[in-house]
Structure 1
Amino acid sequence: MTSKNSKYIGKYQINAFLGSGSMGRVYRVTIPVLEKTAALKLFTPSRSLIKKVGLTSLRAQFIHEAAVIANIRHPNVMSIWSLEETAAELFYLMDYYCRNLGQLIGESYWADRPSRTVSVEKACHYLAQIIEGLCRLHEADIIHRDIKPFNIMIADTGTVKIVDFGLSRRRGDKQFLGAEKLTIGTPFYSAPEQIDSPETVDQRADLYSAGVILYRMLTGHLPDKIPALPSELNAQLDRNCDRFILKAIAPHPDDRFQTADTMSAGLKAFWVQYKNARQRECVAPDDIVQEKKTASQNKPTQIKPTLPIRSESSRILAKDARAVFNLDDLHQPAVFVENAFQKINDTTVIDHATNLVWQQSGSRYPMMWDQAQRYIRMLSESGFGGYRNWRMPTINEILSLVNPMHDDDFCMEPVFSPDQKWLWSSDTRSKKSVWTVDAQMGFVTCSDLFDYNFVKAVCSVT
């Protein structure tokens, strides 16, 4: 097997270690000549697993994992490019995506801790794609058996990709020797029957896991054995949402949605009902502005001093990030700026509260770090918007644009273009990673230099 210190796996150069499980390690690699980034999963079972199951059986299971989805073509299922073997290595190549749903909601390895919530619209958008991917897998008689946030990748366009088929099983396949000794699934997301009898579950176990993901996204919590109503944990939800989720996570499989198609139809019906109800609550834009002013006046503790905001880029270590960026436990702003935005022209916006001029939109496409630097230089050299001092913003500057969500946000037009979802900052975490902001969820994370994010340039006005 390849050493952890090796710079290559086969002919592929290792750029970063992404994670590991009992069956293997995953790396971000570069394909030679093409200089294309890919993800590579290397067969490296743990010693304890080899002792428990046997190397021959584990190797067959790893090959099976790749073969299960090799011929599945669907936009919501991860594509595997090739299965390759050298004298000492067995691995397969697949698409690389730099973010997943677990990172988006801030789920840690202590999954029972509260996580970030997702708007109803975004949560339904993600769940609809998860269900579509499951529909394709189930049509091919494939039960995934480990649907959880960290196995749901999110592409730059917001498209969901189901990954990690190490525990999947095609209906009718013979069980691998020793497989009964493997733990199947993740307890927090696994259906009750999957824990009791993992080899006999059907597609309803995957649908249960998808329902738990929705509960988690909308409430920030995992359901208890007797789950609290989602509407009791999130005031924006209603009884229609309660009925849909509780049906999805019913303890007995006969009480759940029986197929991915029926769950998809139920989700669409719920979303239409929810959207229509919220639209009836919407008020005129002038009323919204007045309500927001009143709300901000009533909550002075949520408004931080507007100046000065740190504008010099720095290397911020992980242990110092919360203090420097002024973040809460979920890496979202602890306090907020009371902005005073004014549109300068079709391309720029000034915030008089901070004396910062921003691109109204930003880069059209996500780009790697070195490309982002060139993009900033191009803006300054061309005098974009009448300014020649454009730069990459610090995390603190980007966070000055973030405000807490209100019930009436569903009716509001954004000040900035919503297309730039994930933003580079000028603050680094190390030589190989940079601090970034999820502009829609309003939290701070970090990205490797080879990851893809958007750029929203800023310049200071004196």
Structure 2
Amino acid sequence: MTSKNSKDIGKYQINALLGSGTMGRIYRVTIPVLEKTAALKLFTPSPALIKKVGLTWLREQFIHEAAVIANIRHPNVVSIWSLEETANELFYLMEYYCRNLGQLIGESYWADRPSRKVSVDKACHYMTQIIEGLCRLHEADIIHRDIKPFNIMIEDTGTVKIVDFGLSKRRGEKRLLSAEKLTIGTPFYSAPEQIDSPETVDQRADLYSAGVILYRMVTGHLPDKNPALPSELNAQLDRNCDRFILKAIAPHPDERFQTAEAMSEELKAFSVLYKNARQRECFTPADVSQEEKTAPQIKTTLPIRSESSRILAKNARMVFNLDDLHQPTVFVENAFQKISDTTVIDQATNLIWQQSGSRYPMMWDQAQRYIQMLSESGFGGYQNWRMPTINEMLSLVNPMHDDNFCMEPVFSANQKWLWSSDTRSKKSVWTVDAQMGFVTCSDLFDYNFVKGVCSVN
């Protein structure tokens, strides 16, 4: 088996270890010649697991995982490209994505802690795609059995991809008895019947898990045995939201949505009702709207750090002024003014910004070249463009409104995930989610947008 310190797996060059479990390790790798980034799952079961169920069964399970999904073609299901084996390695290659829903909401290994809330519109956007992916899987008689935020990848365009089919099974499939010794699913997200009898569950267990994800996104909490009404945890929700979500997570499968198609149709209807209700609430006189817009903000008295630094994870919250969910605790009362169609100045900070930024997301070294190009070309009449620090980028973020942070309308909304000039290590860089207003970090090979800044002389 390949050791954790190896630089290659077969013909593929290892860039980073993305994660590991009892069945295997997942790496980000480079495909030779093409120089294309991919994800590779290597069969490396733990000695304890081998002793528990046997190497032969585990190997069959790993091959089964790849075979289950290899021929499924759907925009919301990850693509597996190949299953390969060398003298001492068994692995499969698949699409690589650098962010997932678990990271987006800030779910940690202590999953029962509060997480970041997602706006209802965005939650419905993600949930619609999750259910569409489940529609396709269930049509092929595949039950996933481990739907959770960390198994929901998010493309740069916002498209959702369901991944990790290690626990999946085909409807009616008879598996080896050894499987009964394994824990099937993830606590908090598994349906009650899946915990009691994992080998007998049907598609309704996946729909339950999807419902828990929706509850989590819009409330920031996980439901308990007697879940609070979602509207009690989020004032933006109404009774229609409560009915839909509580039906999705009903303890007994007969009380839930019976098919992914039925859940999809009701989600569409619920989404329309919610948007119509919100539009009626938001139709207010101009003076009321103005009062909302000029609600007091916290104006920082600290200087905004402009020199890039290496900020260790243990110091990030203090340096960046973040709360437990890595969202800002200090806001700037900006004074934006457009200089041209491409540049904006903030009189409050004396910083000049690109109105938009890069057209497409790019890797770290490409982002640096992009900033260099801005200076060399004298973009907007300036030649001292640089990549902003995290503190400078957070000066653009407004306080939460309707469960979402945002930048002023003077800026383009296309650049959702932004590189900073602050590094966390030699291989990772601090970044900002401009829509949800939180700080995270990305590897050098991940893809983010970049927005240039320069200081007023």
Say whether the fold is shared (TM-score over 0.5).
yes
Q: Report the equivalent of 2:248.
A: 248
Amino acid paired to 1:103 = Q
1:107 corresponds in structure 2 to 107
SS in 2 for 1:447: strand
1:303 maps to 2:299: yes
* 1:308 Cα deviation from its structure 2 partner: 2.0
Cα displacement (A) at 1:46: 0.8
Q: Is the 8 A contact 1:53 1:177 kept in 2?
A: no
Structure 1, unpaired ranges of 5+: none
Identity of aligned residues (%): 88
**TM alignment of 1:373-452, pairs within 5 A:** 373-407=368-402, 414-452=409-447
1:120 corresponds in structure 2 to: 120
1:320 is aligned, of 315, 323, 329, to 315
1:139-150 mapped onto 2 (5 Å cutoff): 139-150=139-150
Query: In the alignment, is the contact (CA less than 8 A) between 1:105 and 1:117 conserved in 2?
Result: yes
Letter in structure 2 aligned against 1:13: Q
CA RMSD of aligned residues (A): 1.7
Q: Indicate if the aligned counterparts of 2:406 and 2:434 stay in contact, CA closer than 8 A.
A: no
Q: 1: CA distance between counterparts of 2:407 and 2:273?
A: 19
- Report the secondary structure of 2:431's partner residue: strand
1:192 aligns to 2:187 (yes or no): no
Residue type of the partner of 2:127?
L
**Separation of aligned partners in 2, 1:288 and 1:378:** 45
Amino acid corresponding to residue 359 of structure 1 in structure 2: Q
Whether 2:155 is the aligned partner of 1:166: answer no
Report the residue type matching 1:418 in the other structure: A
CA separation in 2, counterparts of 1:409 and 1:38? 32
CA contact (8 A) 2:83 2:92 kept: yes
Cα distance per residue 1:245-304 (max 9 Å; x no partner): 0000000111111111110111111110111111112246954662245421xx6xx332
1:223-262 Cα shifts (integer Å, max 9, x gaps): 0100000000011111110011000000011111111111
Instruction: In structure 1, give the amino acid aligned to 2:451.
Output: K
What is the distance in 1 between the residues matched to 2:293 and 2:183? 54
111-120 or 414-423, which moves further after superposition?
414-423
Change (3 A) 1:407 1:133: closer
Q: Which amino acid aligns with 2:422?
A: D
**Contact kept in structure 2, 1:420 and 1:455, CA below 8 Å:** yes
SS of residue paired to 1:350 = strand
Q: CA deviation at 1:51?
A: 0.6
Q: Distance in 2 between matches of 1:386 and 1:228?
A: 56
Compute the displacement of 1:411 (Å): 12
Q: Which amino acid is 2:47 matched to? A: R
1:333-378 CA-to-partner distances (Å, cap 9, x unmatched) read 0111111111222111111111111111110000000100111011
Residue 351 of structure 1: which of 333, 346, 349 is its match?
A: 346
Structure 1 counterpart of 2:154, one-letter code = I
Following superposition, the deviation at residue 181 of structure 1 comes to 0.4
Change in Cα spacing, 1:93 to 1:353, as seen in structure 2 (3 Å) is same
Distance 1:213 1:205 in 2: 13
1:403 is paired with a residue whose SS is: strand
Q: Residue 405 of structure 1 aligns to a residue in which SS?
A: strand
- 1:6-58 Cα distance to aligned partner (Å, 9 max, x none): 11111111000000111000000011111111000000011111011000000
Take 2:407 and 2:386, find their aligned partners in 1: how far apart are those partners?
A: 29
Match of 1:453?
Answer: 448
**2:327: which partner in 1?**
332
Deviates more, 1:44-53 or 1:382-391: 382-391
The aligned residue for residue 46 of structure 2 is 46
1:143-186 deviations in whole A, cap 9, x for unaligned?
Answer: 00000000000011111000000000011222034101010000
Give the match's secondary structure for 2:415: coil
Pick which of 287-296 and 59-68 moved more.
287-296
Q: 380-389 or 427-436: which moved more? A: 380-389
Q: 1:425 to 1:101 in 2, by over 3 A?
A: same
Alignment coverage as a number of residue pairs: 457
- What does the per-residue CA deviation read over 1:55-74, in whole Å, with 9 as the maximum and x for residues that have no partner? 00000000000000010000
Q: Output the TM-score relative to the length of structure 2.
A: 0.97
* Structure-2 change in CA distance of 1:418 and 1:309 (3 Å): same
Pairing 1:9-24 to 2, within 5 Å after superposition = 9-24=9-24
* Maintained 8 Å contact 1:29/1:40: yes
For structure 2, the residue ranges without an aligned partner over 5 or more in a row are none
Task: Kindly indicate whether the alpha-carbon contact (under 8 Å) linking 1:422 and 1:453 is maintained by their aligned counterparts in 2.
Answer: yes
When residues 234 and 134 of structure 1 are mapped into structure 2, their CA distance, relative to the original with a 3 A threshold, is same
Does the CA-based 8 Å contact 2:397-2:407 persist in structure 1? no
CA distance in 2 between counterparts of 1:347 and 1:388 reads: 14
Alpha carbons 1:358, 1:456 under 8 Å: kept:
yes
Q: Distance in 2 between matches of 1:171 and 1:273?
A: 35
Please state if 1:69 is matched with 2:69: yes
Matched position secondary structure for 1:178:
helix
CA separation in 2, counterparts of 1:392 and 1:51? 52
2:386·2:453 contact (CA, 8 Å) conserved in 1?
yes
Secondary structure of the residue that 2:83 maps to in structure 1? strand
> Quick one: distance in 1 between partners of 2:334 and 2:376?
29
State the distance in 1 between where 2:442 and 2:66 align: 27
Does the Cα contact within 8 Å between 1:381 and 1:388 map onto a contact in 2? yes
Contact (CA 8 Å) 2:117, 2:403: kept in 1 or not?
Answer: no
Work out whether residues 279 and 411 of structure 1, in 8 Å CA contact, stay in contact via their aligned partners in 2.
no
> TM-score w.r.t. structure 1 length?
0.96
Aligned to 1:215: 215
In structure 2, do the counterparts of structure 1 residues 234 and 42 end up closer, same or farther at CA, with 3 Å as the change threshold?
same
Aligned letter for 1:119? S
Q: Give 1:414 deviation, angstroms.
A: 2.5
Does the 8 Å contact 1:282/1:411 carry over to 2? no
Q: Secondary structure at the match of 1:17?
A: strand
**Residues 285 and 18 from structure 1, CA distance in 2 versus in 1: closer, same or farther, beyond 3 angstroms?**
farther
